[in-house]
Amino acid sequence: MKQIEGVMYQTNAPKGIDPDGIYFVQVDTTKCEGCGACEEVCATGAIQSINDDYIHQVVDTAACMNCGQCLVSCPYGAIYEGVSYVDEIFEKLKDPDTVVVSMPAPAVRYGLGECFGGAPGAYVGQQMHAALRKLGFDYIWDNEFAADVTIMEEGTELINRVKNAGKKDTLPLPQFTSCCPGWMKFVESYHPDLLPHISTCKSPIGMLGALAKTYGAHETHTPAKKMYTVSIMPCIAKKYEGLRPEMADSGYRDIDATINTRELAYMIKKAGIDFNTLPGEDPDPVLGESTGAATIFGTSGGVMEAALRLPTRHSPASI
């Protein structure tokens, strides 16, 4: 275990093990005051009192959705993230035999600026790309590319469900998104009857990890086995998603590491990069390009607006 800015982390991220058995959030029982705020916000009962002093703990990792709501609700700062890849990523960035690829989510560029004194929600996408390049990432690819792919796939699937509604072998309406791994685990664990309503598409990061080590590797003449893909996400549940056993369609682990916005900010600060004076830069070609529809994924209502913009001749407006 290691102390970083008051947070205890596992220094080695777990690999090749069942993510349902991992504590992605944990309680520092020496800081817990037994107020119960975490239990009140937990939708599944995964965090409970464990003794007469009302000290709380995550008692069931399989029941925990890794949503992080208990962590942000604890008034005493007693809940921390149990998994971090930060040290491993710094090592990979120094290794000349590893090609390190960045894959930041749309939302990260709306949260990162606040870590450097900016206004909450301010867009800092171009400075984020520059900071990733300065950190030493070999390819600045971007999950906005895969957000566009997702919206084309999910939108097309929705249109087909609507057009074929009521016909034999057609998946039912309404269609729900599969993008959120907390939501996915909740449905799988508590409402498996809803699974036919979930989009059959992967989340954007699920797509980009596989695309990076197949199409991206081919286009850049990089052996996929040398590639190390870093998912940069706004939430803890994405660490769970990256470790799901089925995320290996490329023939390798599609996602090698997952960090959140705060951890990226920590890495930028630790590397001594003056974020606020960075000139804006573009991502790299092949898997870095995207449309405005992908950018608005990171804002409330953005996924739905992106779906409604779907530029196909079968657009939702025509059905």
Residues within the interface to ligand SF4 (CB under 6 A): 25, 27, 32-38, 41-42, 44, 46-47, 56, 58, 64-70, 74, 76, 78-79
Which two structure tokens, joined as six digits, stand for 108?
């990260």
User: Smallest distance, Å, CB 187 to ligand SF4?
Assistant: 14
Which lies closer to ligand SF4 via its Cβ, residue 66 or residue 127?
66
User: Smallest distance, Å, CB 260 to ligand SF4?
Assistant: 13
Give the length of the chain: 319
- How many angstroms separate the CA atoms of 19 and 23, rounded? 9
Which lies closer to ligand SF4 via its Cβ, residue 64 or residue 306?
64
Interhelix angle 143-163/204-211, rounded to 10 degrees, is 120
Rg for the chain, CA atoms, rounded: 20
- Count Cβ neighbours within 10 Å for each residue of 154-185 and write b for 16 or more, e otherwise: bbeebbebeeeeeeeeebeeebbbbbbbbbbb
Which lies closer to ligand SF4 via its Cβ, residue 27 or residue 100?
27
DSSP H stretches of helix in the chain = 37-41, 69-73, 86-94, 108-111, 125-135, 143-163, 181-190, 204-211, 217-219, 237-243, 261-270, 292-295, 302-308
Which lies closer to ligand SF4 via its Cβ, residue 39 or residue 249?
39
Which lies closer to ligand SF4 via its Cβ, residue 74 or residue 159?
74
Which lies closer to ligand SF4 via its Cβ, residue 113 or residue 234?
234
User: Smallest distance, Å, CB 293 to ligand SF4?
Assistant: 30
Which two structure tokens, joined as six digits, stand for 12?
């080695």
User: Smallest distance, Å, CB 57 to ligand SF4?
Assistant: 8
Which lies closer to ligand SF4 via its Cβ, residue 65 or residue 146?
65
User: Smallest distance, Å, CB 55 to ligand SF4?
Assistant: 7
User: Smallest distance, Å, CB 45 to ligand SF4?
Assistant: 8
User: Smallest distance, Å, CB 179 to ligand SF4?
Assistant: 17
Which lies closer to ligand SF4 via its Cβ, residue 56 or residue 253?
56
- SS3 category, 49: strand
C-alpha torsion sign, points 201, 206, 209, 213: negative
Distances (CA, A) of 147 to 7, 133, 205: 31, 21, 8
Contact at 8 Å (CB) between 93 and 85? no
User: Smallest distance, Å, CB 20 to ligand SF4?
Assistant: 12
Q: With CA atoms as reference, report the closest residue to 64 among 88, 81, 89, 84.
A: 81
User: Smallest distance, Å, CB 64 to ligand SF4?
Assistant: 3
Which lies closer to ligand SF4 via its Cβ, residue 54 or residue 90?
54
**Looking up tokens 């995207």, which residue turns up?**
290
Q: How many helices (H) and strands (E) does the chain have?
A: 13, 10
